[in-house]
Structure 1
Amino acid sequence: MTARKRPVHPRQPGLLGDGRPAPAEDTAETGPPTPSSGVVPLAERLRPRTPDEFVGQTHLMGAGGPIRQLLQERRAVACVLWGPPGTGKTTLAAMMARAWAGPTVWTTAVHLTTPQLRKLFRRAQDLFRSRRIPLVIVVDEVHRLNRAQQALWLPWVERGVVVLIGITTENPSIALIPPLLSRLYVFRLQPLSSEELRQLFQRAWTFLGLRSVPWETDALEAALTWAAGDARRLIQLVEAVGQDVRARSLPAVDRSVVQRWAETILPVMDRGGEMFYNLISALHKSIRNSDPDAALYWLARLVLGGADPRYIARRLIRAAVEDIGLTEPRALGMAVDALRAFEQIGSPEGELVLAWVTVFLATAPKSNRVYTAFQEALATAEATAGEPVPLHLCNPVTSFMEEWGYGEGYQYAHDVEAGVAPMECLPAALQGTRFYHPTARGMERRIRRWLAYIRKHRGPTENPPQ
């Protein structure tokens, strides 16, 4: 009996470009055989194999696009394919490897050890010496290589012995060391547009043989919106809906069917990745800009994505101090109480506490004057660290210190009628310096009037403002 040739999965590590398994020591793992077509996900069965089948990324794959040009020239270059999930990174890497048609190894950084990397590079060197061609190494989740492992690539990529094609959802300017990044082209992939997702929907629904079963307009629009530019999510949803249509003999697909299956596919968010920090940044900046609706939306995205509510609460505390400050002194206490309340009652009830405080912070008057004042004070203190403390502010704890003038001229503020003594408290070289300039908003309006009185009179000649 003739053995069947194992199909090549474009994401399967440990395979050369011609489908032959690479030696085990060259890759992190040899990978399981590709499942039979009956259980292969629809997204995999629909994976494009030619540039004309590819949907989206017209800036890279359109006429004159850099990746399309590389495919036409059958040329491999060291690069990083960077973009959110479901935008075609793995598909483009597979196309580039097929166009190159030379020795190619697929692996993933999660399982790639340093000894395995060194063996891969030795093999690449032998290949280059014997055939004068590089070894193309496609590394999924390349951002998971540690800094030492990334440094190992430098001489091999520099000399062209290895062509690295990295796949990542993380910003390479953060995830990769600068020397490696400088040797790579960075191709950034964008979420698919609604029209591009619509093309994929038509292709998937036709592939399932269900063109005769219509989708109601609002059902399709809901699916496209829910996919949020992620082709894989859309196709996964279409596959689930298609199975439901066949199982229940549905004459059409309405919004309730889409909602039923969309709820089973959770939003994707790497809690340590760029998307998480983008969402938390959007929450903070929406609060800063006094937009409670946007702040609630980004909070909801974080909660649905599985973010740690305690981290969110700590960020709310930071917003209270940094962006609201003394215009609404209750903000800090409420933010701290929100963290304590969540720790007491947990999810999901505790998430409502976070929403409550988020709205309070977003609608409170804003001021960063304490924050900027402290930054200025830090910079000034660093530049004048040698300035002595004025003697009248020093505590004369011994008679010897009294003789040297410690505490001489100090005035006890509570003995003065206005509660403010006419006494300078900064070093001589900094007298008159002002760091804190309160706004005319919220509680800072009263603080501003009080400071104006203090700075003008510095004594009990007038009654203080109420």
Structure 2
Amino acid sequence: MKAPLAERVRPKKLEDYISQQHLVGEKGILTQMLKNDLIPSMIFWGTPGTGKTTLAEIIAYESKRPFYILSAINSGVKEVREVIDKAKNNGDLFAQRPILFIDEIHRFSKSQQDSLLGAVERGWVTLIGATTENPSFEVIPALLSRCQVYTLDPFGLDDLKALLHRAMEVDEDLKKRKITIKEYESLFRLSGGDGRKLLNTFELVINAVGEDTIEITNEKVMRIVQKNMVLYDKTGEQHYDIISAFIKSIRGSDPNGAVYWLARMIEGGEDVKFIARRLIISASEDIGLANPTALIMANNVFQAVSVIGMPESRILLSQCAIYLATSPKSNASYMAIGKAQSVVKQTGDLSVPLHLRNAPTKLMKEMGYGQEYLYSHDFPGNFVQQEYLPDELIGTTLYEPGKNTREQQIQEFMKQRWGGKYGE
């Protein structure tokens, strides 16, 4: 069976690689590494289809190192150890240490990542990991400290155009046809900036037309892709669109929508920790102080799915998604920090009022640091009115309680103490 277009036109040399000039340009860090033949263990972090696997293969090819590849989706500790043993045993045959590429390394458990440590430390392999998730959260500290992290930027419109034109120039099948791309917008929109998806969608359209002379238009692309959507998107992931629909269903208090999009992600093989992290964000951003327990539940679910795994994790995620969807909503905390950050950007580094300053030295005490501070616990109800903002911001309101039962109670509590300062 013929390989997909994205695989057929995958570049083999750094000079053919499109985008990521901060890494592969003339002064890019990877360019310099290859010139000096000094390849450290590293992790590539970027959205799907930005060329992480391609970069790893190019590094192995241009440095003339043996290349081993594992996918975290279908590899466990046993497979990792087998590859490491093979690399270690063959290492003496090569002048340079082999490269072990782990795709979607964020899906590896702690024990699986631990199994890589010894090989990296002893220099049996040079590890290159690829992840779509923040490695600070998903890669264990011991392994992360032994790797350089490089971020791959999403493709811009010029990059996506360059991918298409390069494919028409180098692929033997496409060179046999006269292809004119009259309109690009639908191809770009359907790909979502994923280079691999762009090329495979392009091939789908060309094969569906089945003619030697082809003119690509937005209407033609949408008609063909919609007709073949199941073939085009076998996994059902549509990663970012579906997580967006999931969160918006929760925000809109629709448990049916939330569970449906959750099921789409589960059936598509989405990482349960990725889903749980989004639930934590939603619990704070969209529910917040209207129901503070939501954040506790979401965090507990994240901890639970991290140790339980599938298929049971789907039940925990469903419970949490339904709970969040049916909770009262408030974005007051989200809005408050946004306002506060805007004020900080506009006003700069305002001085801390003297009564709020720390006074660890005699000189600071003599200068009045902390002298007029009123210790709340010395007063009835553990409260006393005093100013906590810089002088320039006195009277500024950043937090405005939401119109829900919990925050109306908060507002009443604040009015009893502050009078009109926190709302009438």
Output the CA distance in 1 between the equivalents of 2:88 and 2:418: 78
Counterpart for residue 233 of structure 1: 197
Counterpart in the other structure of 1:45: 8
Structure 1 stretches lacking a partner, 5+ long: 1-34, 327-353, 373-427, 458-466
CA distance in 2, matches of 1:132, 1:98: 14
1:225-268 alpha-carbon deviations (Å, 9 max, x no partner): 33222111111111111112325x77633222111234313498
What's the CA shift for 1:47?
A: 0.9
Shifted more, 135-144 versus 55-64: the winner is 135-144
Percent identity, aligned pairs only? 26
> Match of 1:433?
382
Match status 1:215 vs 2:178: no
Which residue does the alignment assign to 1:6? none
Please give the secondary structure, in 1, of the residue aligned with 2:18.
coil
d(CA) in 2 for partners of 1:179 and 1:448?
44
The code of the aligned residue for 1:245 comes to V
- In structure 1, what residue type is equivalent to 2:223? R
SS in 2 for 1:214: strand
Paired residue for 1:184? 147
Give the one of 115, 135, 138 matched to 2:98: 135
Kept after mapping to 1: 8 A contact 2:39/2:126: yes
1:50-93 CA deviation, whole Å, 9 max, x = no partner?
11211111111111111122233344321122222211111111
Query: In the superposition, relative to structure 1, how do residues 111 and 225 fare at CA in structure 2: closer, same or farther (>3 Å)?
Result: closer
What one-letter code is carried by the residue in structure 1 that aligns with 2:180?
P
Whether 2:21 is the aligned partner of 1:63: answer no
Counterpart amino acid of 1:215?
I
Q: Is residue 76–residue 97 contact of structure 1 (8 Å, CA) maintained in 2?
A: no
> Against the structure 1 CA distance between its residues 280 and 143, is the aligned structure 2 distance closer, same or farther, given a 3 Å change threshold?
same
Distance 1:451 1:168, change over 3 A: closer
C-alpha separation in 1, matches of 2:105 and 2:131: 6
Deviation at 1:203, TM superposition (A): 2.4
TM-score (norm 2): 0.59
Change (3 A) 1:282 1:71: farther
Q: CA deviation at 1:201?
A: 1.6
| Contact residue 105 and residue 137 of structure 1 kept, 8 A | yes
| Change over 3 Å in CA distance of 1:106–1:447 after alignment to 2 | closer
For residues 25 and 87 of structure 2, the distance between their equivalents in structure 1, rounded to whole angstroms, comes to 33
Count residues with an aligned counterpart: 317
Larger Rg: 1
Partner amino acid for 2:13? Answer: T
AA matched with 1:70: M
Name the structure where helix makes up a greater proportion of residues. Answer: 2
Structure 2 CA distance for partners of 1:430 and 1:284, relative to 1, 3 Å: farther
Equivalent residue letter for 1:180:
L
CA distance in 2, matches of 1:278, 1:252: 34
> 181, 186, 194: which is aligned to 2:157?
194
Deviation at 1:318, TM superposition (A): 6.5
RMSD of the TM alignment (CA)? 5.0
The answer (yes or no) to whether the contact 1:269–1:305 under 8 Å persists in 2 is no
Q: 5+ residue gaps in structure 2?
A: 267-274, 293-321, 338-376, 385-396, 420-424
User: Which amino acid letter does the alignment assign opposite residue 170 of structure 1?
Assistant: E
What SS is found at the alignment partner of 2:100?
strand
Give the aligned partner of residue 288 of structure 2: 322
